[in-house]
């Protein structure tokens, strides 16, 4: 299985949240875990926000950043090319997505189209983004991870 992680799923690997165990299990079962390069900045931002809001201690924040940095090279990361950005722009309009969400969707679709669609899964905890991924993949085997 190839697993695409948007930032909401990626962060669950480093900060204990509802759904963290599910994401860890999916990553463990995946032959390849992938994401967009934008997820790194988004994940660091999310971890810093959790620290500021006292959701992570200073030590937990430091360990989470170290773990992200350790794991990042193991992920297949998709660059934001001009064509991917244009596709994301169209998806943002069509599916009413925020900019980075549309980049995640365009990146997922690139993986979905490149590999056997039966083997590609999409993991997100954003209902709207999951719905868009399922619709754009024409209801195929791209399974969204719905938030609880």
Q: What is the pLDDT of residue 146?
A: 41
Q: Please count the structural domains in the chain.
A: 1
pLDDT recorded at residue 38: 98
Has residue 141 been placed in a domain? no
In a domain, 143, yes or no: no
Distance of CA 51 to the CA centre of its chain: 21
Residue 71 covered by a domain: yes
**Quick check: is 65 in a domain?**
yes
Please check whether residue 146 lies inside any domain of the structure: no
| 66 in any annotated domain | yes
* CATH code for position 129: 3.40.50.1010
- What's the confidence (pLDDT) of residue 117? 79
Structural domain including 106 reads 2-136
**Is this model's pTM higher than 0.85 or not?**
yes
Q: pLDDT by residue (tens digit) across 94-147?
A: 999 999 999 999 999 999 999 977 899 999 999 999 999 999 987 543 444 444
pLDDT in the model for residue 116: 78
Q: Is residue 61 part of a domain?
A: yes
Please compute the mean of the pLDDT values over residues 45-54 and round it to a whole number.
97
What is the separation, in whole angstroms, between the first and last Cα of the chain? 23
């Amino acid at each position: 299985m190839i697993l695409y992680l948007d930032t909401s799923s990626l962060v669950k690997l480093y900060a204990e949240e509802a759904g963290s165990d599910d994401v860890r299990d999916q990553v463990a079962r995946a032959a390849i875990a992938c994401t967009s390069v934008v997820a790194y900045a988004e994940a660091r931002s999310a971890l810093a926000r959790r620290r500021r809001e006292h959701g992570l201690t200073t030590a937990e924040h430091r360990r989470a950043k170290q773990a992200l940095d350790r794991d990042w090279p193991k992920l297949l990361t998709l660059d934001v090319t001009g064509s991917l950005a244009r596709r994301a722009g169209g998806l943002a309009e069509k599916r009413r997505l925020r900019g980075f969400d549309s980049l995640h969707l365009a990146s997922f679709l690139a993986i979905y189209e490149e590999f056997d669609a039966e083997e590609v899964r999409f993991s997100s905890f954003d209902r709207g983004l999951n719905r868009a991924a399922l619709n754009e993949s024409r209801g195929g085997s791209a399974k969204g991870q719905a938030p609880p």
